[in-house]
Amino acid sequence: MVALHATSGTDLRNLVLADVLLTRRQLLIRRPHSRHVVHLDDTTDALLHAWLRYRHQRWPRTVNAHLLVTQQTVSATDPVSADYVYRRFDPAGLTLRAVRADRILDEARETEDPVHLVRVFGISITTAMKCIHAAHPHRLGPVPR
């Protein structure tokens, strides 16, 4: 989700099963002041199906509605910890934030359209403009504040 869709750690932690729209191949990311729909590619869709099967086989009676659960959270209703999400990247020597930023910047290199970045990643127009400027500094004026 992070490498392909630039999902933030907070967004990952807060996903609940009701946000998984399998028949539409979508995830609904709920944020305090907005919602963002992630359209799933074949790889993410297959991995999500595999995770849901594993989750159901391992913890069939869990009351935790969050998409991501662990042995520690399966008997509660809390999301996984931020540390849990961020530490998944440690073995590769990466950080979640760096992978997310790299994915957005990669997309910005392919386009000069900030609206495209807003739609694909659910980021603000200001952030999208900064990414476009970083990807194409020779084509644009000063960086927006």
List, in sequence order, every residue forming a beta bridge with 20; answer none if it has no partner.
27
Written as one letter, the residue type at 25 is: R
Phi-psi region of 25 (alpha: psi -120 to 50; beta: other; left: phi over 0): left
Q: Are 98 and 108 in contact (CB under 8 A)?
A: no
pLDDT band at 145 (very low <50, low <70, confident <90, very high): low
Give dist(CA 73, CA 20) in Å, integer: 19
Q: Are 43 and 33 in contact (CB under 8 A)?
A: no
pLDDT band at 87 (very low <50, low <70, confident <90, very high): very high
pLDDT in tens, 2-54: 999 999 999 999 999 999 999 999 999 999 989 999 999 999 999 999 999 99
pTM assigned to the model: 0.86
Q: How many CB atoms lie within 10 A of CB 104?
A: 21
Written as one letter, the residue type at 101 is: A
pLDDT band at 141 (very low <50, low <70, confident <90, very high): low
The rounded mean pLDDT for the chain is 93
pLDDT in tens, 76-85: 999 999 999 9
Instruction: Decide: helix, strand or coil at residue 143.
Output: coil
How many helices (H) and strands (E) the chain has is answered by: 7, 3
Task: Report the share of the chain in percent with pLDDT over 90.
Answer: 90
Which tokens sit at 81? 């910890």
Sign of CA dihedral 133, 95, 89, 94: positive
pLDDT, position 143 = 57
pLDDT at 86 over 60: yes
Which tokens sit at 40? 């799933």
Give dist(CA 14, CA 33) in Å, integer: 14
